[in-house]
Chains A and B, each alone.
Chain A
Amino acid sequence: MEGNIAELGQYIGVGLTAFGMGFAALGVGNVAGNFLAGALRNPSAAAGQTATLFIGMAFAEALGIFSFLVALLLMFAV
């Protein structure tokens, strides 16, 4: 077990960022699920709201992508 303590911390940090992706997954699932629930209640209004769905999913997903970016930065740039 020889190695660099900084490298150890780096890898632990990268692992921790995976939590961020998981939470982003929750967020995206929440958006899609609520959209589906609303769409099933009122299917006629659903078609007009797909754009909103994608915007919402994009925002939720962006934060997961940010955690992925942090992981990449930790792995390669720090």
Chain B
Amino acid sequence: MFSLLQEAATTAAGHNEGAVVVVDEAATHGADVVIVHGVDAAEHAGEAAGLPQLDIATFGNQIFWLVVTLVVLYLVLSRVALPRIAAVLSDRQGAVTGDLMAAEEFKQKAREAEAAYDKALAEARTEAQAIVAQNRAEIQGQLDAAIAKADAEIAARTAESETRIREIRASSDVSARDVAQDVAAELIRTFGGTVDQGAVNAALDSRMKGAMQ
């Protein structure tokens, strides 16, 4: 599309100028020969041929301006642009390296903190276990002491009760004997006998012995 537009702009002048220059090798015709219709020239394509690229007459012009452009571009780039871009790139490199190092440092710190935390945790755990064990031992001791104390008390009470029982029994034996002796003596007296104290006592002893056994 654009080439059609461009055609309109360049056909007349460019076409003929190029042709004339190549054919005549002298660029003097360029200005004064103006053929408006490219189609007309096409009929004589063979004789009017010429590639713009091979138009030696314009080489000097192109080379001159190209060298000027290249020198200007080279100077600007090597004096202004490249040092600036190199500085920016090295700045960025420095910033990135610095950031990376800082990040590495933080990572190290985080790792250390984690280790310290783990250590503290383990310590706390062992301490807690020690406290638990100690408490348990203490309670066990108290418990044992209380049990022993209770046992002793029980044993003491039992012994006391047993003595009392024994006393009671002994006293009951004695009073029963007295009662029996008195009853026996009274009975004998009632029946008009004389009380043989010794025989009563012997009988009572033998009966009591059997009853007490």
Contact = CB atoms under 8 A, between A and B. Distances in A.
The judgment on whether A and B are partners is: yes
Interface of A: 4, 6-7, 72-73, 75-77
Interface residues of B, number: 7
Contacts of B22: 77
B46 A7 contact: yes
A7 B46 CA distance: 7
Given A6-B46, A77-B22, 6 more contacts: A7-B46, A72-B53, A75-B49, A75-B51, A76-B49, A76-B54
A72 B51 CA distance: 8
Describe B's contact surface by its main secondary structure: loop
Nearest to B52: A76
A4 B139 CA distance: 129
Interface string B37-59: 00000000010011101100000
Contacts of B53: 72
Contacts of A7: 46
Nearest to B50: A76
A75 B49 CA distance: 8
Contact of B46 (A4, A73, A77): A4
A1 to B, nearest CB: 16
